[in-house]
Chain A
Amino acid sequence: EAGVTQFPSHSVIEKGQTVTLRCDPISGHDNLYWYRRVMGKEIKFLLHFVKESKQDESGMPNNRFLAERTGGTYSTLKVQPAELEDSGVYFCASSQAGDGSKLFFGEGSRLTVL
Chain B
Amino acid sequence: QKEVEQNSGPLSVPEGAIASLNCTYSDRGSQSFFWYRQYSGKSPELIMSIYSNGDKEDGRFTAQLNKASQYVSLLIRDSQPSDSATYLCAVNLIYGNKLVFGAGTILRVKS
A interface residues with partner B (beta carbon < 8 Å): 3-4, 33, 35, 40-45, 48, 55-56, 58-59, 91, 98-108
Contacts and interface: CB of A to CB of B under 8 A. Distances in A.
Interface stretch (B10-18, B56-64, B71-79, B99-107): B99-107
A80 B32 CA distance: 35
Size bracket of the B interface: 20 to 34
A69 B106 CA distance: 34
Interface of B: 2, 4, 32, 34, 36, 41-46, 49, 88, 92, 96-104
A100 B97 CA distance: 5
Contacts of B92: 99-101
A105 B39 CA distance: 13
Given A43-B44, A45-B98, A91-B43, 17 more contacts: A4-B43, A42-B101, A42-B102, A42-B103, A42-B104, A43-B88, A45-B100, A56-B98, A58-B96, A99-B32, A99-B97, A100-B97, A101-B32, A104-B46, A105-B36, A105-B45, A107-B43
Contacts of A40: 103
Contact of A107 (B2, B41, B99): B41
A22 to B, nearest CB: 15
A105 B101 contact: no
A108 to B, nearest CB: 7
Contacts of A35: 99, 101
Contacts of B49: 101-102
Nearest to A4: B43
Nearest to B34: A101
A108 B42 CA distance: 8
A59 B96 CA distance: 12
Contacts of A99: 32, 92, 97
